[in-house]
Chains A and B, each alone.
Chain A
Amino acid sequence: MMPRKKDIVSISKLFVAGFGILASTVAALAQVSPGSTTNPNLAGPLASTNQPSSRPDITRFTMDQLMEMKVTSVSKKPEEFFDAPAALYVITSEEIRRSGARVLPEALRLSPGLDVAQIDASKWAISSRGFNERLANKLLVMIDGRSVYDPAFSGLYWETQDLVLEDIDRIEVIRGPGGTLWGANAVNGVINITTKSAKDTQGLYMEAGGGNVYQGFESVRYGGKLGPNAYYRVYEKYLNHSEFFDPAGNAADDWRMARGGARVDWDISEADVFTWQGDVFGGEVGAKQIMPFTSRPYAQVRTGDAKVDGANLLARWQHTFAEDNQASLQTYYDHFNRNDLRYHERRDTFDLDYQHRFSPLNRNEIVYGLGYRYSGDQIGGEPSTFRFDHPSRGLSLGSAFLQDTITIVPDRLQLTLGTKLEHNDFTGFEIQPGTRLLWTPHERHTVWASVARAVRTPSRVDDDMQAHLPYDNPVPPYIRNPPAAIGIGGNPRFESETLVAYELGYRVRPLDRLTFDLALFYNDYDKLRLGRFDFTNPASPPQITPEYTFLPLWIENLMWGETYGGELVAHWNPTDIWKLIASYSYLKVQLHVPTVGFFDPVSPTATARSPRHQVQLHSLLDLSEKWQFDTGAYYVDRLPSLQVPSYIRLDLRISWRPTKEWELSLVAQNVLDNHHPEFGASLDNFDLPTESRRSIYASVSRRF
């Protein structure tokens, strides 16, 4: 290991580079010449590029030289997403590869403003703009149009979404509400993961490697042609992840996951594209949990493996009637099984979705959609301490949305109005309207504003779960004397949590290779979940043993609050061989509880479960045609309510491509620390947290 002092020097160098970015901006801003316009007619662009200063003489290149030139899409991403009227960040496949991330949730660390905390070796708490927990219930995640949000526990199991990162085309992270398009639970953010078309993954790709934390991993993918316009790929992946550090010893959180699947993309005609895809996975996820008992010693720590498996199948048909008139019909089936230490869940989901985009009038672009989803489950646990009123339940969700994007002034001002209407089995109809305004006063400046409503609909936990938790969880000896337990009772009258979000954004490109993206938000939440102790309510969760001091806790919509903050992201490509991405995010959470009554002391501490300050700096450097050196530095503020101190994480990657086919890379993550905690125990997570370790691994890949 490198001595720590040296690392701090290297970090400080990185931050010096960061300040360099800021300084250069000041200089650059001065150069922005206002008033020039994007001219949609043909003569405009031809005329406007005649800047004599750096006009290259392209006639001097021979065909052979041209054939060898790399088409580097210089800052392609900020260009493409410069005009998005939302707080959007796109993680490219190149950024994923060069981050050294081996699993999907680790790749999400690349998104500014997202709060990614690893609880133990296999579990993550990921949220945007606050309210982080293992099953963060206000973040919606879609993989190729398939929702992976679990309606029983309202959140998702990141460890089972173990995609082949090489096959991910891009990850779009929208901070802020997306309910108008995506529906319920897209409250604080939406993550859209898009995998590559089979057309783009032709040939054989193999990868293998290992290290101290990622003990062994391999994946193989093969892509071929089924016909002149039909492409397929098949893949498999396996990962064996070692334990993290546990101050008490015996972390027992090692895990193994295997996955395989296939995808077909068929351009049936100029106007029709079919996609079929499916995956299967299975694995064992180690955990250490405090198990409550109804008799002495009331609780004990148990270790073991959760067994998980699942499969999904998706089909999509996209039809182009004409330019600006497209429709898509998609259906999927998703199945998963989870046998956790305390409970088991089996879920089968069927989804049908239709969308149509067209421009009926000049300057109007309308998108509407209709959807239906059925999700059936079987859930249960140890009956005395963890059960649901309904051991099996089928939930229906019907949805419709309509959105109109109106061009008020061409190339200058655009207004988007839309709403989603959904019907769910818990609360009936939910409406999520939103409006966005996009103003481009100049081709290098974009201003956007948005007001939107979003809801987090009840889950089965809110509605019909009955669970007992040892009160003093998780501090040994776990149970007070005399013992006490909290009995959490779901509430069939629990309503949706609501948000009205106000956002403002500004993007500026002072130089062709420098972009700033600022997003500010003010979120107004109401009817947030809060447990209320009610010792008199006869319908309280049943008291199990007289030895307990029993504290019945009812789930109700009693909390409200505000969050505000912002994210600033800078992209700078000083040269074609060097790319820098820096970001800062700020978050303040204020939650309020009623003054009269006894309430769950844990929920209001959500104010301090997400870091207030986060700073990131990424450097992607091509040392030569064959060598790459990449660095990622992260500062994450402390989490006071979980007693997690702030930390700085430094990741390094070096890769060597001796030929076009082979790539060898060496990755070191968390190099500054032997171990540090990133998240703590919380009521919604039975698993005891462990600490992230320094990780080193080597990998080799070959494409044919």
Chain B
Amino acid sequence: MQLLVPSIEKWGSQCRGFAGAAVLAFAMAAGFAQAPTLTPYQIKAGFIYNFAMATKWLSEDPNSTAPLVFGILGEDPSLGEFALLQGAKVGAHRNLSVKPCKDLSEAKECHILFLSGSLKSNLPTLLEETKDLPVLTITDADVGVRSRGIIHFVLEKDKLRFEVNVSAADRAKLKISSQVLKLAKLRKDEPGGRKD
């Protein structure tokens, strides 16, 4: 009856969008004031902000002041948390622009692209399509190596960790600073997991 277990999960899968806001004030009113804790996607947003600052797009003019575009592909209400990064400063004259992408052609224009787990079986194809472009792909779905971007979030116990596929980063002409790499688990397989 194993298939039924996912079916029960499915009953609730559309309903993940409640992460958010009003709780804090209530908790404080109840006398349990404490430092704000972040939701999983807020923590990911924090990481992505750090990745944005620690990455150099070698194919691009280093002094560009055009916004650094952070694209999001997929349909998951939690992705809304990434809106917190809109306008965040990533350099002296450069801001982050968060952009929900409608399709692949929009996604290809981004500097950073988050591909949500909701894309499911499309993930490998989408990653294949972007592997030669200067796009820092980021994923978090636990569905196999072919579905992992250049940076891939993994949950270990209750802490967030990430893998960096260094070969894929090289191919995309991205230089990720050693500060980030030393915290990452490094992978070397080809982007999309396929050999040319």
Residues of A within 8 A of B (CB): 24, 28, 31, 38, 40-51, 53-56, 58-59, 61-64, 66-74, 79-85, 88, 142, 144-145, 172, 181-182, 192, 194, 267, 270, 316, 318, 320, 322-323, 326-328, 330, 353, 355-357, 367, 369, 411, 438, 440, 443-444, 446, 509, 511-513, 574-578
Q: Is the CB of A54 within 8 A of B22?
A: yes
Task: List B contacts of A67 (CB < 8 A).
Answer: 159-161, 183
Task: For the complex, give the distance between the alpha carbons of A594 and B43 in Å.
Answer: 66
Task: List B contacts of A66 (CB < 8 A).
Answer: 43, 46-47, 50, 160
B67 proximal to A (CB < 8 A): no
B14 proximal to A (CB < 8 A): yes
Give the residue of B3, B80, B161 whose beta carbon is less than 8 angstroms from that of A45.
B80
B100 proximal to A (CB < 8 A): yes
Shortest B146–chain A CB gap in Å is: 6
Q: Is the CB of A181 within 8 A of B46?
A: no
Q: Is the CB of B179 within 8 A of A574?
A: no
Task: For the complex, give the distance between the alpha carbons of A196 and B102 in Å.
Answer: 37
Residues of B within 8 A of A (CB): 1-9, 11-27, 30, 32, 34, 36-40, 42-43, 45-47, 49-50, 72, 74-85, 88-89, 98, 100-102, 120-121, 143-144, 146, 155, 158-161, 179-180, 183
Give the residue of B11, B36, B102 whose beta carbon is less than 8 angstroms from that of A85.
B11
Q: Is the CB of A63 within 8 A of B179?
A: yes
Task: For the complex, give the distance between the alpha carbons of A701 and B24 in Å.
Answer: 35
Task: List A contacts of B76 (CB < 8 A).
Answer: 45
Known: A43-B100, A62-B50, A322-B121. A367 touches B45 (CB 8 A): no
Shortest A432–chain B CB gap in Å is: 15
Task: For the complex, give the distance between the alpha carbons of A179 and B80 in Å.
Answer: 40
Q: Is the CB of B38 within 8 A of A357?
A: no
Task: For the complex, give the distance between the alpha carbons of A81 and B37 in Å.
Answer: 23
A-B contact pairs, 5 of them (CB 8 A): A31-B22, A46-B82, A145-B1, A192-B5, A318-B3
Q: Is the CB of A58 within 8 A of B84?
A: yes
Task: List A contacts of B77 (CB < 8 A).
Answer: 38, 44-45, 48
Q: Is the CB of B155 within 8 A of A71?
A: yes
Task: List B contacts of A192 (CB < 8 A).
Answer: 1, 4-5
Q: Is the CB of A49 within 8 A of B80?
A: yes
Shortest A427–chain B CB gap in Å is: 23
Q: Is the CB of A72 within 8 A of B37?
A: yes
Task: For the complex, give the distance between the alpha carbons of A62 and B180 in Å.
Answer: 11
Nearest-neighbor residue (CB-CB) of A660 within chain B: B157
Q: Is the CB of B75 within 8 A of A353?
A: no
Give the residue of A42, A58, A438 whose beta carbon is less than 8 angstroms from that of B42.
A58
Q: Is the CB of B42 within 8 A of A56?
A: yes
Nearest-neighbor residue (CB-CB) of B42 within chain A: A58
Task: For the complex, give the distance between the alpha carbons of A277 and B46 in Å.
Answer: 40
Q: Is the CB of A56 within 8 A of B36?
A: yes
* In the complex, number of A-B residue pairs with CB atoms less than 8 Å apart: 214
Q: Is the CB of B37 within 8 A of A576?
A: yes
Known: A66-B46, A74-B19. A181 touches B1 (CB 8 A): yes
Task: List B contacts of A353 (CB < 8 A).
Answer: 1
Task: For the complex, give the distance between the alpha carbons of A326 and B50 in Å.
Answer: 38
Q: Is the CB of B159 within 8 A of A71?
A: yes
Q: Is the CB of B21 within 8 A of A45?
A: no
Task: For the complex, give the distance between the alpha carbons of A512 and B25 in Å.
Answer: 12
Task: List B contacts of A318 (CB < 8 A).
Answer: 2-3
Q: Is the CB of B50 within 8 A of A84?
A: no
The 10 closest A-B pairs by CB, nearest first: A45-B80, A42-B100, A49-B80, A84-B11, A80-B12, A575-B32, A58-B46, A45-B77, A355-B3, A51-B21
Give the residue of B12, B37, B42, B88 whose beta carbon is less than 8 angstroms from that of A79.
B12
Q: Is the CB of B24 within 8 A of A54?
A: yes
Give the residue of B34, B37, B144, B159 whose beta carbon is less than 8 angstroms from that of A270.
B144
Task: List A contacts of B159 (CB < 8 A).
Answer: 67-71
Shortest A405–chain B CB gap in Å is: 8
Give the residue of A355, A411, A512 whose beta carbon is less than 8 angstroms from that of B1.
A355
Task: For the complex, give the distance between the alpha carbons of A512 and B23 in Å.
Answer: 6
Nearest-neighbor residue (CB-CB) of A82 within chain B: B15
Shortest B62–chain A CB gap in Å is: 22
Known: A42-B72, A56-B84. A49 touches B2 (CB 8 A): no
Nearest-neighbor residue (CB-CB) of A269 within chain B: B144
Q: Is the CB of B17 within 8 A of A38?
A: yes
Give the residue of A24, A182, A509, A576 whose beta carbon is less than 8 angstroms from that of B18.
A509
Q: Is the CB of A444 within 8 A of B102?
A: no
Of the candidates A45, A67, A577, the one having the most CB atoms from chain B within 10 angstroms of its own CB is A45
Shortest B22–chain A CB gap in Å is: 6
Task: For the complex, give the distance between the alpha carbons of A271 and B132 in Å.
Answer: 26
Task: List B contacts of A45 (CB < 8 A).
Answer: 17, 76-80
Task: List A contacts of B27 (CB < 8 A).
Answer: 513, 574-575
Give the residue of B2, B21, B23, B74 whose beta carbon is less than 8 angstroms from that of A328.
B2
Task: For the complex, give the distance between the alpha carbons of A59 and B80 in Å.
Answer: 16
Shortest B52–chain A CB gap in Å is: 10
Known: A67-B183, A71-B40. A80 touches B20 (CB 8 A): no
Task: List A contacts of B144 (CB < 8 A).
Answer: 267, 270
Nearest-neighbor residue (CB-CB) of B144 within chain A: A270
Task: List B contacts of A73 (CB < 8 A).
Answer: 40
Shortest A252–chain B CB gap in Å is: 38
Task: For the complex, give the distance between the alpha carbons of A653 and B36 in Å.
Answer: 27
Known: A267-B144, A513-B23. A81 touches B12 (CB 8 A): yes
Q: Is the CB of A79 within 8 A of B15?
A: yes
Q: Is the CB of B9 within 8 A of A80?
A: yes
Known: A49-B80, A66-B43, A74-B19. A574 touches B32 (CB 8 A): yes
Q: Is the CB of B3 within 8 A of A58?
A: no
Task: List B contacts of A41 (CB < 8 A).
Answer: 75
Nearest-neighbor residue (CB-CB) of A199 within chain B: B142
Nearest-neighbor residue (CB-CB) of B121 within chain A: A323
Task: List A contacts of B160 (CB < 8 A).
Answer: 66-67, 69, 71
Task: For the complex, give the distance between the alpha carbons of A45 and B146 in Å.
Answer: 27
Task: List B contacts of A438 (CB < 8 A).
Answer: 11
Task: List A contacts of B143 (CB < 8 A).
Answer: 270
Task: For the complex, give the distance between the alpha carbons of A41 and B1 in Å.
Answer: 33
Known: A82-B12, A575-B34. A53 touches B42 (CB 8 A): no
Q: Is the CB of B3 within 8 A of A46?
A: no
Q: Is the CB of A79 within 8 A of B16?
A: yes
Task: For the complex, give the distance between the alpha carbons of A322 and B16 in Å.
Answer: 23
Task: For the complex, give the distance between the alpha carbons of A575 and B47 in Å.
Answer: 24
Task: For the complex, give the distance between the alpha carbons of A85 and B30 in Å.
Answer: 33
